[in-house]
Structure 1
Amino acid sequence: MPRITGGSLDEHREQIRQSVFEALTALLEERSFDAITMAQLAAKAGMGRTAIYHHFPDKEAVVVAFASHETEQYLSRLEEVLATADSPVERIRIYVDYHLAAGEQFHMGLGMQFYGLLSQESRLAIREHVLEVERVLRELLDAGIDSGDFIVDDVAATMSLIHACLSPRHLAPATIEAFVLRALGVH
């Protein structure tokens, strides 16, 4: 009988999942996704080679669960910091700054390398989480448009352009923030 860690079975499962996610992150620093095996994930997570299959059927399931976990953590913290601001302009500033800072902390951007390696079903599951992040931005833009703070002709295109602006890591966050605000018509 396997030993249960944590105060409950749910805590034990969460600890196992976290160990596997940390193992995935560590292994991805060493090698490509297609070179990682479930046995390597299990060993790096400190569990038996077959025990990992009690939690994940395959490594695609690990990636989908990892992306889900990361997105949930990201959104939870984003909602907390957004709640500290009242104006649409301040909230979009927070969104931009948070996204840039959190990009260093969260691993949601696992990279386009995965898209070619994952099944259509896994890609769609991960896309569902991206839509949640987009929902937050859409709500921020809608509030700014409604208040008259933002001038936006095409919300969908503006969302894509804002997210494109949040990708470069070689630019100062203040430069990106100022650019996004000017693009929204904020003076």
Structure 2
Amino acid sequence: MPKLWNETIDAHRAAVREAILDTTAKLVAEGGLRAVTMSQIAEQTGIGRATLYKYFSDAEAVLFAWHERQVTAHLQQLAGIRDQDGTALERLTAVLQAYAGIARQRHGGELTTLLHQGEHLTHAERHVHGMLQHLLAEADDVRRDVPPAELAQYCLHALTAAASLTSESAVARLIAVTLDGLRPAA
């Protein structure tokens, strides 16, 4: 097959895959993770079920791919914030605020527990941990009696509590308390 033909086929497959994941995101937003079925995905995407099964073996596989795409987008968002202008503490604060916002987007239930066990999530957590560790090591006005790696772990664990908070003011207080824990002892 000519190279151009292969590129066209690959582009089409990528577009169909993205459409499937976009549809899945829409279905999740409308009815939650548990409500997503292969029939719904195929119908809403505008493809046949047989075509859908060429891409994914079951709804769980689609949800894993959708979740992996979400995690990748969150990592890109956090990296973009980390790379903005400002002091290390300002960038750290902005990353922590964004991370808390991401934590609030988590869906509940069994399926979320399943999705959060994937290797892609372990990789993402290590990546965010390293990002925070680097910012903490770079910041001048954080405590030095605790290694940056431990402070990064503290931040990650503290801000996962944002998932259960119901108001922006509660999240802001959680971030403030987390940042207070990073300040040097008086």
Structure with greater helix share of residues: 2
CA drift at 1:184: 1.3
- Correspondence 1:70-89 to 2 at 5 A: 70-85=70-85, 87-89=87-89
**Is 1:88–1:140's contact at 8 Å kept on the other side of the alignment?**
no
Deviation at 1:52, TM superposition (A): 0.2
Q: 1:85 Cα shift?
A: 3.5
Partner of 2:160: 163
Asked if 2 retains the 8 angstrom alpha-carbon contact of 1:149 and 1:185, the reply is yes
* Partners of 1:27 and 1:36 within 8 A in 2: yes
Task: Give distance in 1, aligned partners of 2:59 and 2:179.
Answer: 40
**Unaligned 5+ runs, structure 2:** 1-6
Tell me the CA shift for residue 81 of structure 1: 2.1
Aligned 8 A contact 1:165 1:180 in 2: no
Whether 1:93 aligns to 2:93 is yes
Percent same amino acid at aligned positions? 21
Q: Which residue matches 2:108? A: 111
The runs of at least 4 consecutive aligned structure 1 residues that moved more than 6 Å come to none
Against the structure 1 CA distance between its residues 181 and 157, is the aligned structure 2 distance closer, same or farther, given a 3 Å change threshold? closer
1:75/1:133 contact within 8 Å kept: no
Give the stretch that moved more between structures: 153-162 or 48-57: 153-162
TM-score normalised to structure 1 length: 0.72
2:133 corresponds in structure 1 to 141
Shift of 1:40: 1.7
Question: How big is the alpha-carbon RMSD for the aligned residues of Structure 1 and Structure 2?
Answer: 3.2
TM-aligned CA distance change 1:162 to 1:26, over 3 Å:
closer
Count of equivalent residues: 173
Gaps of 5+ in 1: 1-6
Tell me which amino acid in the other structure corresponds to 1:87: T
Cα displacement string for residues 12-33 of structure 1 (whole angstroms, at most 9, x for unaligned residues):
2232222222322333345454
2:121 aligned to which of 129, 143, 147: 129
Where does 1:40-59 land on structure 2 (aligned, <5 Å)?
40-59=40-59
